[in-house]
């Protein structure tokens, strides 16, 4: 099913923009960066070997007990057997198209920029369309296990599929923590969570082509993954890393992330954080 845009709008309305005020000085100078080209790939489900998609960790440890973010790379035409997971996960399509639903549901292929959640215990299948399909998967606790459908249970949660065309983007005229009045400037879309300070939430940030500025974070953690386009990340040493889709950068505590975009297309980031962030343009 598709989540109606009004649902996301209501989430945005419930959040207090007063949290996004003046930022303190950064606590450190170095962000954690993982380029998509440097990701180490393993089998998502070792029991199925090459029949399973590949997985590459961006942050955390999906075999441990904590939160984790990793890339999912299924082969062309991949379709899993019906199965469940022991934990709930979230996913965002980066390349290709993903179908994730009840085994008897009609196909609904989610393209780049689409978002979905898969509740623990719920029987489902996952399928891929395209030769270079890639998705970002995130869990709040581990380990991430694939279990047979016979072990299904009702956790009380329900799955959500949000096609990219149903995501609502808010700009500087709608919210207070984008400091630019220019038309076609940065935009934010709220996906999940409670945006009160100290609570986890997930959002997407759209930076227009030619943007130069920074993202100021003041939560205890900040994790960002490039979903679309190409992002240039400048370090305190003056070096620039090019973050292609599937690349990650993150920080802890108060931090200023210098970012810019080039080319003729927008860049989209997914952000997971437990505190305020602010988008500042150099213009």
22 and 43 in a single domain? The answer is: no
pLDDT value for 9 = 29
70/185 same-domain check: no
Check residue 24 and give its pLDDT: 47
Average pLDDT, integer, range 29-56: 89
Tell me the C-alpha distance between 12 and 191, whole Å: 9
Q: In which band, very low, low, confident or very high, does the pLDDT at 263 lie, cut at 50, 70 and 90?
A: confident
The domain tally of the chain equals 2
Length of the chain counted residue by residue: 283
CA–CA separation, 24 and 254 (whole Å): 7
Whole-number percent of the chain with pLDDT over 70: 84
Whether residue 199 is found in the same domain as residue 156: no
Query: CA triplet 242, 245, 247: central angle to 5 degrees?
Result: 65
- Per-residue confidence band for 213, with pLDDT thresholds at 50, 70 and 90: very high
Q: What is the predicted pLDDT for the residue at 275?
A: 92
Which one of 113, 137, 165 terminates a domain?
A: 165
pTM assigned to the model: 0.87
Q: How high is the mean pLDDT of the chain?
A: 86
pLDDT for 130: 85
Predicted confidence (pLDDT) at residue 214 exceeds the cutoff of 80: yes
User: Does one domain contain both 157 and 46?
Assistant: yes
Same domain, 203 and 274: yes
Whether residue 27 is predicted with pLDDT greater than 70 in this model: the reply is: no
Query: In angstroms, rounded to a whole number, what is the distance separating the alpha carbons of residues 63 and 243?
Result: 26
Model confidence at 11: pLDDT above 50: no
Q: 52-103 pLDDT, tens per residue? A: 899 999 999 988 999 999 999 999 999 999 999 999 999 999 999 999 999 9
Q: What's the domain range around 173?
A: 5-30+168-281
CATH number for the domain harbouring residue 161: 2.60.120.10
pLDDT of 12: 34
Q: Are residues 133 and 20 in the same domain?
A: no
First to last CA, the chain: 41
> Of the candidates 110, 145, 165, which is a domain's last residue?
165
Domain C-terminal end among 126, 148, 165: 165
If asked whether residues 175 and 227 sit together in one domain, one would say yes
Kindly state whether residues 22 and 60 are assigned to the same domain. Answer: no
User: Do 47 and 123 share a structural domain?
Assistant: yes
- Verify that 190 and 249 share a domain, yes or no: yes
């Amino acid at each position: 099913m598709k989540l109606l845009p009004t649902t996301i709008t209501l989430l945005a309305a419930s959040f207090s923009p007063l949290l996004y005020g003046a930022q303190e000085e950064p606590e450190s100078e170095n962000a954690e960066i993982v380029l998509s080209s440097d990701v180490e790939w393993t089998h998502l489900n070792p029991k199925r070997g090459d029949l399973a998609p590949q997985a590459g960790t961006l942050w955390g440890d999906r075999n441990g007990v904590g939160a984790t973010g990793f890339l999912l790379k299924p082969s062309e035409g991949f379709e899993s057997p019906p199965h469940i997971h022991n934990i709930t996960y979230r996913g965002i399509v980066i390349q290709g198209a993903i179908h994730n639903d009840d085994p008897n549901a009609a196909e609904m292929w989610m393209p780049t920029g689409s978002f979905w959640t898969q509740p623990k215990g719920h029987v489902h299948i996952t399928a891929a369309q395209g030769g270079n399909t890639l998705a970002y998967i995130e869990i709040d606790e581990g380990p991430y296990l694939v279990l047979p459908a016979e072990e299904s249970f009702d956790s009380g949660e329900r799955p959500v599929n949000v096609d990219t065309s149903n995501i609502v983007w808010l700009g500087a005229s709608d919210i207070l923590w984008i400091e630019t009045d220019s038309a076609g400037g940065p935009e934010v879309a709220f996906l999940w969570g409670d945006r009160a300070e100290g609570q986890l939430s997930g959002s997407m940030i759209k930076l227009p082509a030619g943007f130069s500025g920074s993202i100021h974070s003041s939560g205890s953690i900040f994790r960002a993954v490039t979903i679309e386009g190409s992002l240039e990340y400048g370090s305190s040493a003056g070096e620039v890393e090019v973050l292609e889709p599937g690349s990650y950068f993150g920080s802890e505590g108060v931090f200023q992330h210098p970012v810019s975009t080039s080319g003729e297309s927008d860049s989209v980031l997914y952000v997971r954080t437990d505190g305020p962030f602010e988008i500042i343009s150099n213009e």
